[in-house]
Structure 1
């Protein structure tokens, strides 16, 4: 039985995919990666990553997803029944990611509320780590529950439920049609305003000052491919799932190009705003940009509040706009991660969309409470390495091999070309998906494994083992439980 969920238009599909790609990683992660990996020189490996990995793989994932018009798991069973266990591993891991992603959304929700009156005070760093999160770098912090943080995280899960429990086009489709354009418009005004700040040129000079010597280092290439992988959510099942909802007239090649272009344009435009603000801070404080910039949550929840404090009354406008932008980016990305496991459960256990959404939101909301403790940030950092640097990359490697070799990617060429209004696929695409991409993924995975092995504390090992057990046991349960629908093993194919 084909998927009953359908996009109302090609635009809804494209905007949903852009919403999946554009997220927190574009706003806080990319500017730091660009700056710390050669500045302007970074664009060479960045563009290589786009053309050798992002575009070819997205087209492959879209094509196979469209063909089976079902969940990722169900499609793998059609390709070969013994792949069902792996077919559950990826959705489970992506759901684990959605659970800790809700933490960042919860934190941002708090700052959205505080931004109307600058409730973080004169010292945002102390407020974040001491007053709000009460952060600890050990598991002992899990016994210190923080209700205020939990409330905002639960609010995020409620929003996810409210959007996802509706029919696809009435819920997710409408949200993406409204909020994705809003996200781009708000960021546009923030960046334009940032460029007018005194000292903006100082930050931009630091950002784009190319360090060509770094091109000979492996790290810059690893960073470029890792960023593309991270920001586009490659292989996390969102592209496959969303493509399965498309109609027969969709141009999947063009859609893939639009998504990659929109994602890259957004993160590079956002980088202009980030470094303009950092340049302004440098001018005001007399501190070099290199000593101000930090990675991750600090950049959002410490640096920006400091800027809004300095901006006075203007900060009361810019602050809410910025944190609302981040919130929208987080919600659209989390929705795509949530959808991957949801549709697989609907397919196998014959649950309605409403029931599957309710169950997953309750489970996810309960599990996320471990991040509403003093150890939340500590556990999140280790969970992020486990998911993104190890499991997802390895899963995508397996996915690429299955789709390119066992499914036979050449089956897609004539079909995709017949609907393409821009570019046509040829032998170059087959070479990429069969040979080049697997080699790239192996290199990235080895690098990620090295980073994981560098974490040698007993507590971090315990967290990784627990996450691995959750992944394996959950996937086994989903695999072994009998299907509640007769057509679980009878997936139709659109492309003959």
Structure 2
């Protein structure tokens, strides 16, 4: 096998990892989770989740990728040939994340283009349903939402163009530009938002602690789920990126930098988001509770409505806001795409460019199906199932494989060699016992909730996803590796 390419610097790796972690979840998910799970008191389970799950598992992923220096599918095959099937299941699930993530980015791209003249009009909810994301009305499934279709095609071309270059020329260079730009843009938005009349109303609403909620197990589960979602844990991204690191890398230092950057970004962004919501509440006498919503509703319905009434500054903030989401989304999409790209390239002995081209064609074709009149409904179904069923279970399985079948102690020399901070028995205990048990509990609770709240169509789509990924995983694991 040819010599594996490397990052040209630790900085390129850190920017790429921060880019993979900082995404849509930080901008539109965290503030809602913080608000709805006890406000200021939520920081306690949040930082506990970082300490006993986020940091330890990322250290494991860095150690695995750095030690093996191979694709994720090849790593599991080397530990035990039968485990290659599990590897393909994970990278296929993560590839599916790329597919629907590109559709959400397509929505954002439409809003970015619309933000210069506020083409969304006064009825922002109707604009999203009729022009961008569609609805849950199955009768609308037969037509495409053309603005989103065009946006998805453009974005898949951009993703292909970056990914087909070697890791340092493509993702490395792009991340070194987009991540600093993203942080600067969000800093401008946050600082300005904090000066708006009524900003204090929003921040007070966000941070008012409800200490009684600390006794609710669901708050703790929400904190751990947020960390998994926010850091893109266990999705083979960190393992794949770390496999391109040079031998003298400070692995644990890099983990702490990435986790700190990710948390700082989402906490500061929450202040900005709620400052703007507080301004809207103050200016128009609207109760905060009417403005606070999760995910697509917040970004694509509430925020355009706020920009409409902010006057001239709205015409500056709106493009900056949607540009920030685009930058965060592209760097995350590159991360989601890389495990499948790396694994398929090594499996078939193809060039990186050929593999990226074929995967982009397949991924784009599936994404286009999600630009139909019920696109947002389909994206919601797939997102919930992939995260709560597929990836969460496979993170627990990875813990068990690396800790019990391979031996987590084997990673200690590589992890501690150059790092300023060291890990030992406590870290091994978390990986071997605490983390697998906790992840399986979260998974079981999620599965009960998923199947008790899903309708017939949702269960059908979930079943199709499982069957397709299972069949493809079996086929891919049966194919022999082809060396150049």
> Shorter chain as normaliser: what TM range?
over 0.9
Please state whether the residue corresponding to 1:136 is helix, strand or coil: coil
Q: What CA deviation, in whole Å up to 9, does each residue of 1:6-27 have, x standing for no partner?
A: 1111111111000000000000
Give the CA deviation at 1:447.
1.8
Distance 1:397 1:129 in 2: 37
1:469: how far off? 1.4
Q: 1:293 to 1:480 in 2, by over 3 A?
A: same
> Does residue 84 of structure 2 align to residue 84 of structure 1?
yes
Relative to 1, partners in 2 of residues 1:3 and 1:298: Cα closer, same or farther, differing over 3 Å? farther
Counterpart in the other structure of 2:353: 354
Q: Does structure 2 conserve the Cα–Cα contact (< 8 Å) formed by 1:3 and 1:244?
A: no
Partner of 1:14 in structure 2?
14
Question: What does residue range 195-344 of structure 1 map to in structure 2 within 5 Å?
Answer: 195-344=194-343
The answer to whether the 8 A contact 2:107-2:133 is kept is no
TM-score for the superposition, normalised by structure 2: 0.98
Greater shift in the superposed pair: 103-112 or 141-150: 141-150
Rounded to whole Å, the distance in 2 between the matches of 1:474 and 1:370 is 20
Contact 1:6 1:168 in 2 (8 A): yes
Q: CA deviation at 1:481?
A: 2.3
Which residue matches 2:30? 30
Q: Does 1:41 align with 2:31?
A: no
Contact 1:293–1:299 (CA under 8 A) maintained in structure 2: yes
**Normalising by the residue count of structure 1, what TM-score does the alignment of the two structures yield?**
0.96
Q: Within 2, Cα distance between the matches of 1:230 and 1:3?
A: 33
Find the counterpart in structure 2 of residue 147 from structure 1: 146
Tell me, in whole angstroms, the C-alpha distance in 1 between the residues paired with 2:452 and 2:2: 46
CA–CA distance in structure 2, aligned partners of residues 2 and 394 of structure 1: 33
For residues 131 and 391 of structure 2, what CA distance do their matches in structure 1 show? 34
Q: After superposing the two structures, state which structure 1 stretch, 161-170 or 128-137, moved more.
A: 128-137
Q: Is the contact made by 1:20 and 1:332 (CA closer than 8 Å) also made in structure 2?
A: yes
Deviation at 1:482, TM superposition (A): 2.9
> Equivalent residue for 1:482?
480
User: Which residue in the other structure is 1:492 paired with?
Assistant: none
Q: Output the CA distance in 2 between the equivalents of 1:479 and 1:78.
A: 12
CA displacement at 1:71 relative to structure 2: 0.5
User: Any conservation in 1 of the 2:67–2:414 contact (CA below 8 Å)?
Assistant: no
Per the alignment, residue 386 of structure 2 pairs with 387
Q: Tell whether the 8 Å contact from 2:134 to 2:376 is kept in structure 1 after alignment.
A: no
Q: Is the 1:124–1:305 contact (alpha carbons within 8 Å) kept by the matching residues of 2?
A: yes
Query: For residues 188 and 137 of structure 1, what CA distance do their matches in structure 2 show?
Result: 39
d(CA) in 2 for partners of 1:434 and 1:103? Answer: 37
SS in 1 for 2:407: coil
Please list, as runs of the form range in 1=range in 2, the aligned pairs for 1:161-172 lying within 5 A after superposition.
161-172=160-171
Q: Deviations over 1:275-329 (max 9, x none)?
A: 0001001112212111210001011011111121112221111111110000011
2:452 is the alignment partner of 1:454: yes
2: CA distance between counterparts of 1:316 and 1:279? 19
CA separation in 1, counterparts of 2:128 and 2:405?
A: 50
| Number of corresponding residues | 484
2-structure distance, mates of 1:103, 1:156 = 9
Which residue is equivalent to 2:67?
A: 67
Do the aligned residues in 1 keep the contact of 2:199 with 2:279 (CA within 8 Å)? yes
Residue number in structure 2 paired with 1:467: 465
Please list the CA deviations of residues 135-157 of structure 1 after superposition, one character each: whole Å capped at 9, or x if unmatched.
Answer: 2343x433122222111011110
Segments ≥4 residues shifted beyond 6 Å: none
Which of the residues 420, 433, 441 maps onto 1:435?
A: 433
In 2, the alpha carbon distance for the partners of 1:426 and 1:133 equals: 48
Q: Is the 8 A contact 2:134 2:375 kept in 1?
A: no
**Which segment drifts farther, 166-175 or 407-416?**
407-416
Q: Contact 1:3–1:69 at 8 Å: present in 2 too?
A: no
Shift in Å, 1:3: 5.2
Structure 2 CA distance for aligned equivalents of residues 52 and 14 of structure 1? 22
In structure 1, the residue matched to 2:174 is: 175
> How has the CA–CA distance of structure 1 residues 136 and 456 changed in structure 2, closer, same or farther, with 3 Å as cutoff?
closer
Note if contact 1:72-1:87 (Cα within 8 Å) is conserved in structure 2: yes
Do 1:2 and 1:70's aligned partners in 2 also have CA atoms closer than 8 Å? no
Superposed counterparts of 1:369-388, under 5 Å = 369-388=368-387
What SS does the corresponding residue of 1:454 show, helix, strand or coil? helix
2: CA distance between counterparts of 1:426 and 1:87? 27
1:121 matches 2:121: yes
RMSD over aligned Cα atoms: 1.1
Give the drift of 1:253: 0.4
The answer to whether the Cα contact below 8 Å between 1:23 and 1:330 also exists between their aligned partners in 2 is yes
What is the Cα deviation at residue 131 of structure 1? 4.2
Partner Cα separation in structure 2 for residue 260 and residue 401 of structure 1: 23
| Structure 1 residue 4 displacement after superposition | 2.2
TM-superposed CA distance for 1:407, in Å, is 1.3
Give the Cα–Cα distance (whole angstroms) in 2 for the partners of residues 431 and 330 of structure 1. Answer: 35
Task: Give the superposition deviation at 1:335.
Answer: 0.4
Gaps of 5+ in 1: 487-496
Distance 2:314 2:2 in 1: 50
CA-to-partner distance for each residue in 1:85-109, whole Å, 9 max, x for gaps? 1110000000001100011100000
Q: For residues 451 and 236 of structure 1, what CA distance do their matches in structure 2 show?
A: 22
Aligned mates of 2:48, 2:98 — CA distance in 1 = 29
